[in-house]
Chains A and B, each alone.
Chain A
Amino acid sequence: MTISLVPLLVCGLLVAAGVTLLLERSLVRVLAGVILLGNGVNLLIVTVGGDAGAPPLLGRSDPDRMADPLPQAMVLTAIVITLAVTAFLLAMVHRAWQLRDSDEVSDDTEDRWVRLRARRGQLGERVRARQAEYDLLVAEQRAELHVEPTKGERLAHRRTDRRKLKHRQREARRQMRRAIRAERERQALALDPELEGDD
């Protein structure tokens, strides 16, 4: 066999152009890319399948100089299939346009949904961490308020302590709730309730 560069370069060019169009979002351009790519690959099959030669017609051409007919048969099949696919994709272009006035290939919504839920999950973890911090704070405060030693004072203090504690707790809880609400507002859906902390 002889490697002839020009047809090969044409193949490369067609493939490159096909790929370039294939990476677009418009279905028409993608289809154009597919056709270009298909033309390039068809040419490749014929080119690398054998040397150029005479048409493979018995009785007309010298059998030794004939081009290899097998790649031709393969490409013929491929061309017809591409034609049918073109028709189908054009119908799809039309339908897409009919539905949305655009032939853009849109992203999958469910996958975007998963990304959103991942984000929500992160926020939820943060809320939970803050809740834990708050619990710790309350516990510390409670411990702090219980240091008064003398017995007489203790009884007297206990009531005020308790009031003070309650007040601070309420305040902290209010802050907490506000924080949680702010976080939750950014969450469209509640977290998976089956998976919340052990109760």
Chain B
Amino acid sequence: MEALIPLPVLLPLLAAGVKLAIGARLRRVQGAISITTLAVNLVVSAVLLVQVDTHGPMVARIGGWEAPIGITLVADRLSALMLVTSSAVTLCVMVYSVVSAYDRQEDVAPMAIFHPAFLVMLAGVANAFLTGDLFNLFVAFEMLLSGSYVLLTFGGTPSRIRAGATYTVMALMSSMLFLIALAVVYAATGTLSMAQLAERFADLTPQVKLLVELLLLLAFAIKAAIFPVSGWLPDSYPTAPAPATAVFAGLLTKVGVYAIFRLEALLFPGGPVGTLLLWAALATLVLGVLGAVAQADIKRMLSFTLVSHVGYMVMGVGLATVAGLAGAVFYAVHHMTVQTSLFLVAGLIERRTGTTSINRLGGMMRGAPLLSLLFFVPAMNLSGIPPMSGFLGKLALVQAGLEVGGVLPVALVTAALVTSLLTLYAVAKVWGKAFWRETRADSEGRQDAGEEQVERSAVTIPGLYGPTAALVVLGLAYTVLAGPLSSLTERAAGELLARQPYITAVLGPR
């Protein structure tokens, strides 16, 4: 079964390589290859999840090299769960982009670009979830970042170049920070294996420990878009092509969050950074949602809620209890799904009307009832309306926060609830204006003078609704599966905080 672990990384890469090698020929097959690969990925990840849930963490030793020498890939409950969710989400997005022919419309450059970039990005995401080596995590980040640079600047329109510059520069900052942290880590401990690091960090002086922790945290915080290093996200995500934005929103920040989970739980359990994280979570939650309230564009509004809701997950980590971490993991699973589906819906809206500005949209409920439903359900889910998964995650976090007690946790619980309310307000504003209000433009938005309007089709492709609806339904399914899912996240959090199962699996029993 260990042989399955590298597959989520290798299969997309193989598909990417084959696609490039066959070149522009067989364009039609491209979509089929991608979809098949991702479907297989989903199956593999699901099998992995079942396996690790019954047998505990599993380890693949790449090249047959043992842990501190070689690179290990580790699948535990957390990574397998993240992997399953991301596979499911990306499968839907891939179907969406193939059906919408984004891959072909946007992929008219001389080489097949969309699919390889997309697949490498996904491989990077999977690698980041699985790796048990800190330097390999850096490489995984570079993989997913390089894919995202390309997807973000597709077509090279002015706004995408501007957004691409913001995004690239900030990502490079984060990479440089990560490298500095790696230098410090290796200098201080002489190892890169995370399991061994977990052991060796314990012996360091508190000064160096804190230094390493904060450096890594800052590097990951940029990726996860946590205040004060969150500003780049709303400036860059909304301009990318819809499927790309959807995947960015769903996965990329979660990779940063995942890295923070590992960092805080595995490498630096306890310690003074928890309080700092809580403050950061507080600021991220509140400032992010205020940004969402201030926006007049659906995609930007969603980007700000994305930033804001990362605060929920950081809050769970900062609480440093099993309940808090379990809530954070649950929220991450929920958020990956819902945020992605909302961006896909935004893409549908843009495709239908040529704009996502709520000042220009109108009358969509009359004009596009199905689209309205597809927006409304995940939007309510995002706002944490029960019994949907957003509520369940929030509930877990509120419970965890009140259980811990104290001024800061209670302040965070308050902030979490206020954020929920303001998210609802922001979403309701969109609903009221874009969907309820009838305007002269009435669902026939005008083509913007801007040069980068997505090709707008009067006839919406029904096939596009399929993958979007599938994601929306997946978001709802978490409600039905709340029992098993919440106990799984609790087990995952318990395993994560216990640390020993992971360390033993990688380094062998001591």
Contacts and interface: CB of A to CB of B under 8 A. Distances in A.
A114 B163 CA distance: 17
B156 A95 contact: yes
Interface stretch (B164-172, B220-228, B415-423): B164-172
Interface stretch (B14-22, B24-32, B44-52, B179-187): B179-187
The B interface is mostly helix, strand or loop, or mixed, namely helix
A99 interface: yes
B318 to A, nearest CB: 28
Given A70-B192, A81-B142, A105 B149 contact: no
A20 B56 CA distance: 49
A44 interface: yes
B179 A78 contact: yes
Nearest to B186: A49
Interface string B191-225: 01000000000000000000000000000000000
B161 A96 contact: yes
A34 interface: yes
Interface string A104-115: 011010110110
Interface stretch (B80-88, B294-302, B339-347, B377-385): B294-302
A158 B356 CA distance: 57
Contact of B146 (A22, A45, A84): A84
A99 B165 CA distance: 14
B272 to A, nearest CB: 24
Main secondary structure of the interface of A (DSSP, over half): helix
A189 B360 CA distance: 13
B211 to A, nearest CB: 13
Contacts of B184: 48
Interface residues of B, number: 39
A37 interface: yes
Contacts of B192: 70, 74
B492 to A, nearest CB: 30
A39 B214 CA distance: 23
Contact of B294 (A22, A77, A117, A194): A117
Contacts of A41: 176, 179-180, 183
Contacts of A114: 294-295
Contacts of A1: 187
Interface of A: 1, 22, 27, 30, 34, 37-38, 41-42, 44-45, 48-49, 70-71, 74, 77-78, 81, 84-85, 88-89, 92, 95-96, 99-100, 105-106, 108, 110-111, 113-114, 117-118, 189, 194
Top 4 A-B pairs, shortest CB-CB distance: A48-B187, A45-B183, A108-B235, A105-B165
Given A49-B187, A92-B168, A105-B166, 7 more contacts: A38-B179, A49-B183, A77-B139, A96-B165, A108-B235, A114-B294, A114-B295
15 contacts: A22-B169, A34-B176, A37-B176, A48-B183, A49-B186, A71-B183, A74-B192, A78-B179, A81-B139, A89-B168, A100-B158, A105-B165, A108-B166, A114-B294, A194-B432
